[in-house]
Amino acid sequence: MGVLVPSETATLLRQAERVVIFTGAGISAESGVPTFRDALTGLWERFDAAALATPEAFQDDPALVWGWYEWRRSAVQRVRPNAGHEAVAAIEARVPSSVVVTQNVDDLHERAGSPAPLHLHGSLFAPRCSACAHPAPLPDGPAEEPADGRRVPPPGCARCSAPLRPGVVWFGEALPEAVFESAVEAASSCDLLLTVGTSGLVYPAAEIPRVAARFGAAVIQVNPQETPLDPVADVNLRGPAAQVLPALVE
Ligand code: BV8
Ligand code: ZN
């Protein structure tokens, strides 16, 4: 038997005309992508993810930071979107005005059929120049993980020859302005926001569900754990996204 969702939640979703689906690492967990707070696996467990995801770490040791992001990118390429990502794409197909706002840097929403998720924290698949932001090709290179995790950074920018960097937003860096503004605009004009698989701890992304609630939208949270977003949500569905979301869109 599938996960029970209160019927009034499914009705809320069916009646919604403008939906925002806000996702975090938890929606990719059942695809086998470790969440940000989980202990990183293998070689990387001795590192603190939040310490590696900073401009300082890149400054100090670009080869280590490139090794970490390319390891994560190859891990994402080896897995598949799960039923949670597919349910999100099904909601978008059904509700004409729906926007996916994700904190994730993987491409699983895209591979599940979401046409244009807003990536508040960038993407593992969009390296760019650290100086002029010119988009750069994905680095090719060894499939297996180098022994110490380091990998030789790709050659410099084709336009200005400055060093290339992973296309993600690091702690202490501003979010891409236009993307964040579109997310706030969508949250302030939706009638329902689904927040899925996020601990709601990282700002300013964590503002998005709060903006929706402030503008009168109904907020449904899907997370097996309690989070600081519990009081913001009208409904808290305590379960894994790959089970709860398909039950919601049945
Ligand atoms: C900025 C890309 C300013 C890189 C990421 C004190 C107070 C408030 C803010 C701050 C503060 N001190 C510092 C700050 C600012 C800081 C911040 O918020 N820190 C936090 C930790 C307190 N924010 C920043 O630095 C941001 N920038 O503020 O800039 C500025 C302004 C102008 C000009 C210059 C500067 C930038 C933040 C972006 C950082 N980059 N990612 C990378 O991926 O390597 S954030 C990274 O962590 C992820 O992208 C993700 O967003 C976040 C982790 O959050 P979640 O996605 O929620 O994942 P998490 O693991 O935490 O939780 C998983 C959840 O899933 C859990 O709840 C779990 O229960 C649930 N779950 C598990 N399994 C399932 C499930 N749910 C459903 N189904 C399941 N099966
Ligand atoms: Zn450049």
CA of 167 to the centre of ligand 2 (A): 13
- Residue whose CA is closest, atom 73 of ligand 1? 26
CA of 46 to the centre of ligand 2 (A): 33
pLDDT of residue 1: 45
CA-49 nearest atom, ligand 1: 44
Residue among 100, 102, 83 nearest 36 (CA): 102
To the question of whether residue 225 is assigned a binding role by annotation, the answer is yes
Q: Could you give the residue numbers annotated as active site?
A: 121
CA of 153 to the centre of ligand 2 (A): 15
Ligand 1 mutation target, pool 21, 22, 31, 36, most atoms within 8 A of CB: 36
- Residue whose CA is closest, atom 62 of ligand 1? 199
For residue 35 and ligand 1, the question of a CB distance below 6 A is answered with yes
Contact 248, 9 (CB under 8 A): yes
From the CA of 162, the nearest ligand is 2
pLDDT of residue 201: 94
Residues of the chain with pLDDT under 50: 1
Tell me what ipTM this predicted complex has.
0.95
